[in-house]
Structure 1
Amino acid sequence: MSKRIKYTDGEIWEVKIVKDFLPHPRELLLKDDSVKVTVSLSKESVEFFKSEAATAHVPLLSIIRK
């Protein structure tokens, strides 16, 4: 992209203000009922989940939760 954009003083036409129609980010969150639990995993399982999380580029806990 060696070409530079040249801006000029152009004519501005009539402006129409539109009401905000996007939901708030908090409304986009998926809500699910969750319960806290403690899980004991073997070292092999933890290493497996770590490697899967690394290959998928996601946090370890998100792999374990799903």
Structure 2
Amino acid sequence: GVAAGVAAGVAAGVAAGVAAGVAAGVAAGVAAGVAAGVATGVAVVFMFMTIGLGSFAIQSAICC
């Protein structure tokens, strides 16, 4: 009885631990992915803004 109870408890604990670990890993992965995506998006926007401002400055310098 005791052995069966301990075995069941250990099995349940391992299952819960694995589930919690997987959930934490997925959450961390999603957070990292979102952060990377936002950083990439911001970098691209800044790049285009810089290119746009640079070309505008060059055009205005040539025109004026």
Q: What is the TM-score of this pair, normalised by structure 2?
A: 0.24
Higher relative contact order (CA 8 A, sep 6+): 1
Q: Which has the larger radius of gyration?
A: 2
Q: What is the TM-score of this pair, normalised by structure 1?
A: 0.24
Give the number of the structure whose residues are more often helix, by fraction. Answer: 2
